[in-house]
A and B are shown apart, each in its own frame.
Chain A
Amino acid sequence: MDTTAQTDHDPALTGEGADQAQALVYPRINCQDVNVFYSGKQAVFDVSLPVFDRSVTALIGPSGCGKSTFLRCLNRMNDTIDGAKVTGDIFMDGENINSPDVDPVLLRSRVGMVFQKPNPFPKSIYDNIAYGPRIHGLVDDRQELDAIVEKSLRRAGLWQEVKDRLTQPGTSLSGGQQQRLCIARAIAVRPEVILMDEPCSSLDPIATARIEELIDELRKRYCIVIVTHSMQQAARVSQRTAFFHLGHLVEMGDTDQIFTSPRERRTEDYITGRFG
């Protein structure tokens, strides 16, 4: 598998500069008292949490506890759902992303998203990646576009596998490759944050391991938030873990602490597979 060892150093694309030591103390996103309602029915209650840069934050909790709903707040994807209403403040670099001045389309290029089921566009592998940079006007010519496509595919660990078949449809790839294609597509628009909603749940263990390896690589450059229903996956890939239950944030802490000595009984019961 190719890794970022081959990637070029481009500060504009990588956001390099801040050192690792700083990364854990600097919240990239700060959520305060976030509530979400679907047609008046509340799904997320008063959630406040920091999301740290250059690290992976895992959201865990039983089905229906509001993980995806909360994740969607971070790039205002709930705006696209009829009847959904979000209150509270979400600061990214000091700016409240819920403010009416913020353009959600621009925001979504800064906060990329990868979904449970790989969803490549019905286009070539090349165009899947090129689409975002084109519509966001990130490139001036074909050469530049080629470079972004290659860089993104390399960074997603897919370049070696697809470099000779870039014109083939994205849907011709295996499930795991499609998911890495979607990650490459998210990376191509130079996001700062990558949201992943159960990105491995339709993949086999080997494809899952490749994605986890990729996440571990990506966290050196990005702020990543991942929803997963596999506690082992949360334990493996994240540095911070937040446990949600019935729409509430029950506990958040260092992943090590959450999985060896959770403070809250509900966390303990959930992660050890007990009745609540």
Chain B
Amino acid sequence: MADHIVSAFTDELDKIAADLMRMGGIVETMILDSCQAVDRNDKELAKDVISRDPSVDRLEEEVERQIVSLIARRQPMAHDLRSVFAALKTAGELERIGDLSKNIGKRTLMLDDAVPSMMRHGVARMARPVSLQLHSVLDAYATSNAETAKMVWESDDDIDQHYNSLFREMITYMIEDPRTIGAGAHMLFMAKNLERIGDHCTNIAEFIYFQITGEYLMPHERPKAPNTGV
């Protein structure tokens, strides 16, 4: 897209996009690291993930502040309007993803060292597809690629299925060995967090798709897995 006649306008939009990408980068590694911490029972890494959350919150505030100021001063229209709307909403979603990852870190600290590694792997396996969703949607944002955004939006179903099977797997462990019930409960919450991160990625995909095309992705048109989880 051509630059604005007022070049500071372009600069301000670029700065917002850059801050959003920074936020996205931080929370993406928070997802991966929090799950690696569960997997390897790495409590130091879990604490480190928790310590990154405030910087995500600050970036969100920073993005919000810039957008409010930009709306007041420049009254964005058309693609500009859609992009500040999408950025504002996306910043909120990323902040939530940060919170959910932090929560995985907190639960890791509460897990007993004796939790079977099979259970730990189960949760960790879900980290990859979920963080990939976020990676792809951020990529769609960076490259203004509506097709990629739509693909992310359509593949949330896979995450849901992953969650459902993990849910059953955890229940099985808990039934087989009631001593794992405490850990299993934490694990289920972690898996639920990852599933919800997937939902946030879907929301981001909707905002980005709208930003790029001016059209809405309709929630009822999205493929959906039968809901066996909670």
Contact check, A261 vs B78: say whether CB atoms are below 8 A apart. Answer: yes
A276 cross-chain contacts in B, Cβ below 8 A: 2
B9 cross-chain contacts in A, Cβ below 8 A: 273
Contact check, B6 vs A262: say whether CB atoms are below 8 A apart. Answer: no
Smallest CB-CB separation from B77: which chain A residue?
A271
B79 at the interface (CB under 8 A from A): yes
Q: Number of A interface residues, CB 8 Å?
A: 16
A231 at the interface (CB under 8 A from B): yes
Q: Which residues, 75 to 95 on B, are CB-close (under 8 Å) to A? A: 75-82
Contact check, A272 vs B75: say whether CB atoms are below 8 A apart. Answer: no
Complex Cα distance, B80 from A261, in Å, reads 10
Complex Cα distance, B78 from A269, in Å, reads 9
Contact check, B82 vs A274: say whether CB atoms are below 8 A apart. Answer: no
Interface residues on chain B, size class: 10 to 19
Contact check, A261 vs B6: say whether CB atoms are below 8 A apart. Answer: no
Contact check, A274 vs B77: say whether CB atoms are below 8 A apart. Answer: no
Contact check, B214 vs A269: say whether CB atoms are below 8 A apart. Answer: no
B230 at the interface (CB under 8 A from A): no
Complex Cα distance, B78 from A261, in Å, reads 5
Contact of A271 among B1, B6, B78, B214 (CB under 8 A): B78
Kindly provide the distance from the CB of B77 to the nearest chain A CB, expressed in whole angstroms. Answer: 5
A273 cross-chain contacts in B, Cβ below 8 A: 4-6, 9
Q: Which residues, 249 to 276 on A, are CB-close (under 8 Å) to B? A: 259-262, 267-269, 271-276
Complex Cα distance, B78 from A268, in Å, reads 6
Contact of B2 among A235, A261, A274 (CB under 8 A): A274
Kindly provide the distance from the CB of A69 to the nearest chain B CB, expressed in whole angstroms. Answer: 25
Contact of A232 among B2, B5, B75, B80 (CB under 8 A): B75
Smallest CB-CB separation from B210: which chain A residue?
A261
A274 cross-chain contacts in B, Cβ below 8 A: 1-5
Query: In the complex where A260-B214, A261-B214, A261-B215 touch, is A275 in contact with B3 (Cβ < 8 A)?
Result: yes
Query: In the complex where A232-B75, A272-B76 touch, is A259 in contact with B5 (Cβ < 8 A)?
Result: no
B6 cross-chain contacts in A, Cβ below 8 A: 273
Complex Cα distance, B2 from A232, in Å, reads 21
Contact of B82 among A232, A260, A269, A275 (CB under 8 A): A260
Contact check, B3 vs A272: say whether CB atoms are below 8 A apart. Answer: no
Contact check, B5 vs A275: say whether CB atoms are below 8 A apart. Answer: yes
B215 cross-chain contacts in A, Cβ below 8 A: 261
Kindly provide the distance from the CB of A232 to the nearest chain B CB, expressed in whole angstroms. Answer: 6
Contact check, A259 vs B77: say whether CB atoms are below 8 A apart. Answer: yes
Contact of A272 among B80, B213, B214 (CB under 8 A): B80
Smallest CB-CB separation from A263: which chain B residue?
B214
Contacts from A to B (Cβ < 8 Å): 231-232, 235, 259-262, 267-269, 271-276
**What are 13 contact pairs spanning A and B, CB under 8 A?**
A260-B77, A260-B81, A260-B82, A261-B82, A261-B213, A262-B214, A268-B78, A268-B79, A271-B78, A272-B4, A272-B80, A273-B6, A274-B5
Give the 10 A-B CB pairs with smallest separation, nearest first.
A261-B214, A274-B2, A271-B77, A272-B80, A268-B78, A275-B2, A273-B4, A272-B78, A259-B77, A273-B5
List 18 additional contacts besides A267-B78, A269-B2, A272-B76; criterion CB under 8 Å: A231-B77, A259-B78, A259-B81, A260-B214, A261-B78, A261-B215, A262-B78, A271-B77, A271-B78, A272-B78, A272-B79, A272-B80, A273-B6, A274-B3, A274-B5, A275-B3, A275-B5, A276-B2
